[in-house]
């Protein structure tokens, strides 16, 4: 019994040490920019940036991305109806006439604005990343940029 307990404690210590801690510079940069944010969840991206998803009353849920040194990189907010560029929606429907657009996010960085569409087309879920100039990139369903957007809600 003591061996099992010792193994269990050792396992817990090992798992605890594997947890990723948000660097202080990143936390400070976040708090400077988004003071008063609630329901904060941090995630480390495959390229070692930090992504914070949080709630602010005016905008609801926002995702903000920071470099490992705390430099703000971009912010994403969900947009609806009149805020979605009609020319991009028309382009999507010309490429995928049977598509259903589930969510649209506006991504703002210091230098640019882009749009991310979550789409279902003929049973396939994927994303499309549009730049304001009309260029786009398909985001496959197994890409972390798409997977990280899927929220499972339990009510």
Domain ranges of the chain: 20-68, 80-155
pLDDT of residue 154: 43
Q: How many CB atoms lie within 10 A of CB 22?
A: 17
> Which residues are within 8 A (CB) of 110 and not within 5 positions of it... i.e. 6 or more apart?
72
pLDDT of residue 150: 54
Helix (H, G, I), strand (E, B) or coil at 8: helix
Does residue 99 have a pLDDT over 70? yes
Does residue 135 have a pLDDT over 70? yes
At 20, give phi and psi (nearest 5°).
-85, 130
- Please report the sign of the dihedral spanned by the C-alpha atoms of residue 31, residue 77, residue 107, residue 143: positive
Q: End-to-end alpha-carbon separation of the chain, Å?
A: 39
pLDDT bin (cut points 50, 70, 90) of residue 8 is: very low
Q: What is the pTM of this model?
A: 0.77
Tokens matching residue 59: 């905008």
H or E element, residue 119: strand 113-121
Q: What is the mean pLDDT of residues 51-72?
A: 92
Quick one: 11 exposed, middle or buried, by C-beta within 10 A (0-12, 13-18, 19+)?
exposed
Q: How many CB atoms lie within 10 A of CB 58?
A: 6
pLDDT of residue 17: 36
DSSP-assigned letter for residue 59? T
What is the tens place of the pLDDT at every residue in 18-61?
Answer: 457 999 999 999 999 999 999 999 999 999 999 999 999 877 89
Lowest mean pLDDT among 52-56, 60-64, 141-145: 141-145
Residue 149 or residue 110, greater confidence:
110
Does residue 144 have a pLDDT over 50? yes
The CATH class of the 80-155 domain is alpha beta
């Amino acid at each position: 019994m003591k061996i099992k307990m010792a193994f269990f404690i050792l396992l817990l210590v090992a798992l605890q040490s594997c947890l990723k801690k948000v660097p202080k510079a990143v936390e400070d940069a976040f708090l400077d920019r988004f003071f008063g944010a609630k329901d904060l969840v941090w995630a480390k991206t495959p390229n070692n940036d930090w992504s914070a998803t949080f709630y602010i009353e005016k905008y609801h849920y926002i995702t903000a991305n920071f470099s490992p040194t705390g430099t703000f990189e971009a912010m994403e907010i969900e947009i609806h109806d009149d805020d979605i560029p009609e020319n991009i929606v028309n382009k999507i429907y010309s490429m995928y006439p049977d598509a259903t657009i589930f969510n649209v996010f506006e991504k703002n960085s210091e230098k640019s604005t882009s749009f991310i569409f979550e789409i279902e087309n003929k049973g396939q879920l994927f994303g499309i990343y549009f730049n304001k100039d009309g260029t786009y990139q398909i985001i496959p369903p197994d890409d972390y940029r798409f997977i990280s957007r899927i929220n499972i809600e339990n009510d």
